[in-house]
A and B are shown apart, each in its own frame.
Chain A
């Protein structure tokens, strides 16, 4: 069964600290994996996309990793800021099919001063 699981469900960290969010998936055949950031009351916005051949990709203070063998991805946030408080959603795409996106339930990150 194609599934995407994220952990932790929620996380609270102090401003300036680093954190890592996890995404495990069983989706196959895999096409790509995307991390979205969703601010409260807003729609998700793409942070980064990882394809099969990519191990690491950075977008400012956000760094995503992908291990296609173990079907795991992580999103590392460096030197967190209050504006990083949001939900982070992992989305995996199948290679084929019209309805081919599988969404994780997200990690709710709260950065406190």
Chain B
């Protein structure tokens, strides 16, 4: 059974803190993605990676960075958290070939106060 796990389900941080969100997949997928999901806006792509140490900006990369040191792990970093980064963060992974279905993690609800 395919599995994408995220380090925390709920997280509360203060403005200005550095925040790490971690995602691990056990399917040997090449591609990994970070999204944020906000009411009325749907899922928006922050960053994605198609290989170890490779990263590409998505639609809303400002205020975020990522790290992919190992194939199975993709980290999202908020260098200095702000209140407008309060959101649900979803990680996903997929193969590079075939129908490339994205498998999502359970999400991390981040609140920045």
Give me the interface of A with B, judged by CB distance under 8 Å: 32, 34, 41-46, 49, 89, 93, 98-99, 101, 103-106
Beta-carbon contact of B48 and A99 below 8 Å = yes
Give me the interface of B with A, judged by CB distance under 8 Å: 4, 9, 40-45, 48, 50, 56, 58-59, 90, 92, 99-102, 104-107, 109
Beta-carbon contact of B41 and A105 below 8 Å = yes
Beta-carbon contact of A41 and B106 below 8 Å = yes
Which of B40, B48, B100 touches A105 (beta carbons < 8 Å)? B40
Q: A43-B92, A46-B101 are in contact. Are A99 and B106 (CB under 8 A)?
A: no
A99→B33 CA distance, assembly (Å): 10
A45→B40 CA distance, assembly (Å): 19
A49→B101 CA distance, assembly (Å): 9
B2 to A: closest C-beta gap in Å: 10
Beta-carbon contact of B107 and A41 below 8 Å = yes
Task: Other than A49-B101, A105-B40, give 16 A-B pairs with Cβ distance below 8 A.
Answer: A34-B101, A41-B9, A41-B106, A41-B107, A43-B104, A44-B43, A44-B104, A45-B104, A46-B102, A89-B43, A93-B100, A98-B56, A99-B48, A99-B56, A103-B42, A105-B41
A44→B103 CA distance, assembly (Å): 8
Beta-carbon contact of A43 and B101 below 8 Å = no
Interface hub of B42, B45, B92, B100 (most chain A Cβ within 10 A): B42
Which of B43, B58, B104 touches A99 (beta carbons < 8 Å)? B58
The residues of B that contact A99 with a CB separation of less than 8 Å are 45, 48, 56, 58-59
A41→B43 CA distance, assembly (Å): 14
11 contacts between A and B (CB under 8 A): A32-B99, A41-B9, A41-B107, A43-B90, A43-B104, A44-B43, A46-B101, A89-B43, A99-B48, A105-B40, A105-B41
